[in-house]
Structure 1
Amino acid sequence: MANILTESSTTIVNNDCQQINEQIEKLNVNSDQTTNDGGQTKSTAIQNLLEKKLSNSDDQKENSLLSTSSTDSNDLSTPLILMNKQIELIHPLESQWSFWYLKNQQGKDWQDNLMKLATFGYVEEFWALFNHLRVASRLPPSCDYMLFKSPILPCWEDSHNTSGGRWVLYFSKSEQVYLNLDVCWLASMLALIGGQYAQDTNYVNGVVLSARKSCDRIALWTSVHHDQQLIYRIGRRMRELINIPRQIHILFELHNQETSTATSVMNKKKSTAGNKVLYQL
């Protein structure tokens, strides 16, 4: 039973990712044809996509309950049918995930600014949480959304992150012509909880959205940095899953700049965040 449910969960998340990628491709194709007023059409299309995904789970639950209500109330099999319908709507993920919120406030320690919003292990729980969150583009500056595999903490000091790094996608003004923050953030989370990094899934710990006045960014955190072939494979997969245009570069930054003096010599380039950049795609 567990294997069947897990496979079903993966299928649902895969379908979500595919629909979002298709929407991104349509928006990218039409981006050059839109006028100043066309931006409203683009935002509307994205909003429709998000609303469709948000209401999907609720519609399934309502339809299932309505279908069972037509059965005879005196039928002894009714409770069993209803229970089976509810079981079908529960789709466990392969791992437990924790969603965090960080609001940087001056005068407070980093730990005091960090808040765990929820821990979930089912597809339905993810959508219920996402439905109550402010969308990425409306997150105030100096605030972060963080989604990490439990029990990993969203900080460099955690033992799972100490030897790792992160692939970073920056949303500067020029890059926002090709990318939509809301769609990319949702696609990043779905790819993560859906195990879309194949054999490298165990090396991917979490994803972080950072809202900043100068430049927003999405960062995919890994547990290692020294295996160049593995890191490039994860980066190429990230580009594919989020559907990042070729003209947009993503950078792999080292969490702890003192972790490896050998690899730091490979590239002296600095990112806009000031972290050491080891690789670029």
Structure 2
Amino acid sequence: MSSNTNATTLPASARPVTNARNSNGSWRASSSQNLNNNALSEEMTYFSTSDDSLDPDRQKKLEESIKTSNPHPLANKWTFYLFKKVIDPFSNTNRLEEYEENLKRVATVSTVQNFWAVYNNIIGPNELSVRCALHFMKSDIHPAWEDPRNENGGAWSFRVSKANTAIVWRELLMMLIGEQFEDCVSKDDDIYGLTVSSRYNSDIFNIWNKNSSVNEEAKIMEKIKEALGPIDLQSPYYKAHKDHAMFHKVDTPTSATVNGKGY
């Protein structure tokens, strides 16, 4: 479990400028977030909303607005990643190599200001192409089963309608940076990250954890249902990473696995 035991409270100056609350009491993001108080990590990159490509003008605009003022640190650092799947039917690249080639590190955030700056300016989950994904991982944990810290872990998974994808993504991100899942797992476990994957008729969410052997003790889905209220969480289940068919098949050519299910 994380060594940081105190949940992060979002200060008023770091919340969205509307200061509006959802019906469940959580803070609602605003597209009009003031960028003047945002500090971004040096590796920050931005993606246009049209084709997932880099947008230099957008990046320049945000970099010019970096003005750190009374930053409010998060309990843990978190990193955004974008996975953009490019399928080459003639490729002999193995599954892990193909995954790494298509995975882009977007930004690491360590303050509330960092978080809102990144959240409000990167591509949203509703803009993802089918079979592309956004990841939000604790510290420097890589969003891959092969990361040694993930080998004994797993994930809670569920689907939501595309109409609800954006709000579920936002609410779960806020719960993570606020350490709201800390009391929902055993002392031998920890929450490592969040993934949203685009599919045709609905989208898939995954909550990564450290220790799959104690997942039955966790109250993660109960916490999520309580926070999201009436939103329908479809087909929820838990699965250890090692139980996925492709877990031990790192050397399998990607051309043979492009239709496989994954995060």
TM, length-normalised to structure 1: 0.60
**Does residue 1:134 correspond to 2:123, yes or no?**
yes
What is residue 93 of structure 1 aligned with on the other side?
A: 74
Q: Per-residue deviation at 1:131? A: 1.5
The answer to whether structure 1 residue 240 and structure 2 residue 226 are counterparts is yes
Structure 2: give runs of 5+ residues left out of the alignment. 1-5, 39-67, 246-259
Is the Cα contact below 8 Å between 2:10 and 2:112 reproduced in 1? no
Overall identity of the aligned pairs, in %? 22
Residues 235, 254 of structure 1: alpha-carbon distance in 2 compared, 3 angstrom cutoff: same
Q: Call closer, same or farther: CA 1:18–1:204 in 2, change over 3 Å.
A: farther
AA aligned to 2:179 is G
Instruction: Write 1 or 2 for the structure with the bigger share of helix.
Output: 1
Q: Report 1 or 2 for greater relative contact order, CA contacts < 8 Å, sequence distance ≥ 6.
A: 2
Task: Rate the CA distance shift 1:251–1:151 in 2: closer, same or farther, 3 A.
Answer: same
1:211 matched residue in structure 2: 198
**Residue 122 in 1 paired to residue 114 in 2?**
no
Provide the C-alpha distance between the structure 2 equivalents of 1:225 and 1:18, rounded to a whole number of angstroms: 37
Unaligned runs of 5+ in 1: 1-5, 25-48, 62-85, 260-272, 276-281
Instruction: Give the structure with higher Rg (CA).
Output: 1
Query: Contact 2:81–2:136 at 8 Å: present in 1 too?
Result: yes
Letter in 2 for 1:234: I
1:226 and 1:12 mapped to 2: Cα distance? Answer: 36
Q: What is the distance in 2 between the residues matched to 1:247 and 1:217?
A: 10
Does residue 1:184 correspond to 2:173, yes or no? no
Distance 1:113 1:274 in 2: 16
Shift, 1:168, TM fit: 1.1
Superposed displacement of residue 236, structure 1 = 1.3
2:35/2:117 contact within 8 Å kept: no
User: Residues 158-237 of structure 1: matches in 2 within 5 Å?
Assistant: 158-171=147-160, 175=161, 180-200=164-184, 203-231=190-218, 233-237=219-223
Residue matched to 1:148: 137
Task: Give the aligned partner of residue 46 of structure 1.
Answer: none
Give the distance between the partners of 2:75 and 2:165, measured in 1 at CA.
26
Residues in 1 aligned to 2:261 and 2:101: alpha-carbon distance in whole angstroms: 24
CA distance in 2, matches of 1:149, 1:119: 9
Call closer, same or farther: CA 1:223–1:188 in 2, change over 3 Å. Answer: same
Coordinate RMSD, CA, aligned: 3.5
Question: What TM-score does the superposition give when structure 2 sets the normalisation length?
Answer: 0.64
Residue 247 and residue 214 in structure 1: after superposition, are their counterparts in 2 closer, same or farther (change >3 A)?
Answer: closer
Match of 1:69 in 2: none
User: Quick one: structure 1 residues 167 and 21, their matched pair in 2 at CA, closer, same or farther if it must change by over 3 Å?
Assistant: farther
Distance 1:21 1:154 in 2: 32
Q: What is the CA-CA distance between 1:187 and the residue it aligns to?
A: 0.5
AA aligned opposite 2:221: G
Q: 2:84·2:102 contact (CA, 8 Å) conserved in 1?
A: yes
- Distance across 2 between alignment mates of 1:118 and 1:245: 29
Residues 212-249 of structure 1, C-alpha deviations (whole Å, 9 max, x = no match) = 22431111111111114423x12211222333547744
